[in-house]
């Protein structure tokens, strides 16, 4: 699982032209082209199938989100992929033409063409060889770099525990190599081998990975899991700092309580990232100290940690000055002021659902999208099991609901991850650093 020598030249080369790269919609890879800084046209929602609801299968749901469209706030396309495998996260290729969507249970990856006609995505490839090629399962994060897709996984095929790694594919969908998350690394913090998110800072040649839990835990009923002391010990408590060009882990940071999404500040000159730990309900700042060493600091609570509000997703503003945080248990969407990232302050909160999970904001911060589902076996039961997509406007003072799609009523399933697209040459403002096309999935 070590880095092949033949891969080092392209890893070095891909960083050289990217020193001034910007990021897209605040929470994506800095290597992605065609940045949407105006009005997005479509929102794609990766949706978990529910037995007896519609066709019962996982699917990609496309919603028209341009207020100037006659179909504004309506579902305009549904692509069912068949079966249920715990649909979870998605990520664009670096040219933004293809959208990769993964399933945590069966580890299948579905590649959709969203560049030809974003209103009508087309399934063009299914990748089923990740466990066999890499030994890892549970593809979670899809993080594009030029010509490649980095995939952060959650578990392994050997024992379905938390030890896992990063898998690399090319844009055609061919396996390239794998890198294990360290289980042993010199230093004061014990490496645990757990994985979750990936985030790169090209200017510092730094990649960060965070940690969650293995297949045995994330496929277990949440109530049963929380009542099992042994299972509750099987969560990641670390982040790993990597030399990105060498794809080599250099340091393990202690961040107790399952640190999830990682967001680098996009403000020019900033060199810090932030994450939220799910079980301990804290915000953590990752920043270099006066000696240039990367450190992780607990900088703020999220709600009342004693009540385990369970922060599940974060979305950073384009200027790095604020952060939206969704907490699953209390159904709240919170806003933190990051003017001083070493001392975040909560400035707003609103109950946006009986359960909430993902949060995505537009580049200008005026639109905030929220979905409801966490994991099929972790979602709430009965009347609290709301399944929706909501759009809120944000005027700097108040979140105001603009529309809601009830995914249960529409027979769609459990709404999870979201990604934006825009019409080619359409009304959405498109800008960004072009990146050479180095291959696309086979049709």
User: Could you say which DSSP state residue 130 is in?
Assistant: H
Cα 331 from Cα 311, distance rounded (Å): 10
Q: What pLDDT is stored for residue 425 in this prediction?
A: 66
Cα 255 from Cα 284, distance rounded (Å): 7
For residue 22, what are its two tokens? 């910007």
Q: For the chain, which ranges sit under pLDDT 50?
A: 1-24, 426-443
pLDDT per position as a tens digit, 32-71: 877 788 999 999 999 999 999 999 999 999 999 999 999 9
Q: What pLDDT is stored for residue 440 in this prediction?
A: 31
Cα 419 from Cα 409, distance rounded (Å): 22
Q: What pLDDT is stored for residue 428 in this prediction?
A: 42
Cα 169 from Cα 185, distance rounded (Å): 26
Q: What pLDDT is stored for residue 59 in this prediction?
A: 98
The arrangement of strands across the sheet holding 322-327 comes to 311-316, 322-327, 332-337, 345-351
What radius of gyration do the chain's Cα atoms show? 20
Helix, strand, coil share (%) of the chain residues, nearest 5:
10, 40, 50
With residue 169 as reference, give the H or E element that holds it.
strand 165-170
Give buried/exposed letters for 256-285 (b at 16+ CB in 10 A, else e).
ebbbbbbbbbbbeebebbbbbbbbbbbbbb
With residue 351 as reference, give the H or E element that holds it.
strand 345-351
């Amino acid at each position: 699982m070590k880095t092949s020598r033949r891969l080092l030249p392209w890893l070095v080369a891909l960083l050289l032209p990217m020193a001034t790269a910007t990021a897209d919609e605040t929470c994506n890879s800095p290597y992605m082209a065609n940045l949407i800084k105006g009005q997005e046209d479509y929102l794609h929602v990766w949706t978990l199938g529910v037995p007896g609801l519609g066709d019962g299968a996982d699917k990609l749901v496309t919603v028209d989100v341009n207020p100037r469209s006659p179909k504004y706030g309506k579902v305009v396309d549904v692509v069912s992929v068949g079966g249920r495998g715990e649909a979870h996260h998605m990520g664009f290729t670096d040219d933004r033409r293809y959208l990769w969507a993964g399933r945590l249970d069966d580890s299948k990856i579905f590649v959709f063409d969203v560049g030809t006609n974003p209103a009508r995505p087309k399934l063009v490839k299914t990748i089923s060889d990740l466990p066999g090629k890499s030994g890892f399962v549970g593809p979670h994060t899809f993080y594009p770099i030029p010509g490649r897709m980095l995939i952060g996984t959650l578990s392994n095929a050997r024992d379905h525990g938390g030890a896992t790694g990063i898998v690399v594919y090319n844009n055609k969908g061919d396996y390239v190599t794998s890198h294990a998350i360290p289980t042993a690394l010199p230093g004061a913090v014990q490496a645990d081998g757990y994985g979750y998110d990936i985030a790169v800072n090209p200017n510092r040649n730094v990649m960060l990975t965070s940690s969650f839990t293995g297949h045995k835990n994330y496929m277990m009923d949440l109530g049963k899991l929380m009542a099992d002391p042994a299972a509750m010990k099987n969560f990641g408590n670390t982040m790993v700092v990597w030399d990105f060009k060498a794809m080599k882990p250099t340091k393990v940071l202690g961040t107790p309580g399952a640190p999830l999404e990682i967001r680098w500040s996009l403000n020019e000159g900033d060199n810090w990232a932030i994450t939220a730990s799910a079980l301990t309900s804290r915000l953590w700042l990752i920043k270099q100290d006066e000696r240039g060493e990367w450190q992780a600091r607990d900088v703020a609570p999220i709600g009342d940690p004693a009540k385990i509000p369970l922060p599940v997703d974060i979305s950073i503003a384009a200027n790095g000055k604020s952060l939206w945080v969704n907490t699953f248990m209390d159904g709240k969407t919170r806003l933190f002021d990051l003017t001083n990232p070493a001392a975040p302050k909560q400035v707003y909160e609103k109950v946006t659902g009986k359960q909430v999970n993902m949060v995505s904001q537009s580049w200008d911060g005026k639109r905030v999208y929220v979905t409801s589902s966490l994991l099929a076996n972790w979602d709430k039961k009965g009347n609290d099991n709301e399944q929706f997509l909501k759009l809120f406007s944000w005027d700097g003072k108040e979140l105001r609901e603009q529309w809601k799609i009830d995914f249960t009523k529409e027979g769609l399933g459990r709404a999870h991850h979201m990604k934006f697209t825009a019409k080619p040459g359409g009304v959405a403002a498109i800008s960004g650093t072009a990146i050479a096309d180095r291959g696309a999935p086979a049709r």
